[in-house]
Amino acid sequence: MRVVSGAARGLHLEMIAEKDIRPTTEKVKESVFNIIQFDIQGKVFLDLFGGSGQIGIEAASRGASEVIIVDNNKSSLDVIKRNMCKLKNRFNVRLVDSDAVEFLKYSPQKADIVFLDPPYNSGLLEVLPGYINHAVNQGGIIITESSTEKNHGLSFGRFTHKKNYRYGSIQINMYTDRSGNSEV
């Protein structure tokens, strides 16, 4: 896996070798960032299920002012740390060892763009809407990645479902803040 675009373009990232962890494909990652390309510059980006850190690192490479990567799997944390070292402190990327729901409950940090890609069939995607609203700034964007096997008709409070994108067995859903000025 590599960084697709931006200041760290071409940087090769380490992936996780655990069978239960499914990295976002390069095609899907590139599509997501093409969709939000005009919204990311200077924004705070939250990758709530970090995996290898590739989504957060891509956000940093493409101009996010701050990236917060959250995960609590030991293998993921180790790989994210190694991938962050490859950045050589060129970007403002912070790793948080935390359960996603606990992070949302207790972190005072707010983000402008939130990427949610929990393990498929974990039920976490259905739990998160109850915790996420206070963690996203006005005008924010929420992006979910999930299997197409489930049609996630999620409601994120003040966020409106904007668009569904399908890539084989993967679906990306975009939600924008009704009360803000997000452009996606």
With a threshold of 0.85, does the pTM exceed it? yes
Q: Is residue 78 part of a domain?
A: yes
Length of the chain: 184
Percent of the chain with pLDDT over 90: 61
Name the band, by pLDDT with cuts 50, 70 and 90, for residue 109. Answer: confident
- Paired tokens of 121: 């069939």
pLDDT tens string 4-63: 998 999 999 998 876 666 678 788 899 999 999 999 999 999 999 999 999 999 999 999
Q: Is residue 11 part of a domain?
A: no
pLDDT tens string 136-146: 999 999 999 98
Q: Is residue 184 part of a domain?
A: no
Write out the DSSP string of 89-148. Answer: T-S-EEEEES-HHHHHHH----EEEEEE-PPTTSSHHHHTHHHHGGGEEEEEEEEEEEET
Q: Is residue 3 part of a domain?
A: no
User: What is the number of structural domains in the chain?
Assistant: 1
Q: Cα separation of 149 and 129, whole Å?
A: 20
- Paired tokens of 176: 């924008």
Q: Is residue 40 part of a domain?
A: yes
Q: Could you tell me the residue range of the domain that residue 135 belongs to? A: 26-177
Q: Is residue 74 part of a domain?
A: yes
CATH of the domain at 108: 3.40.50.150
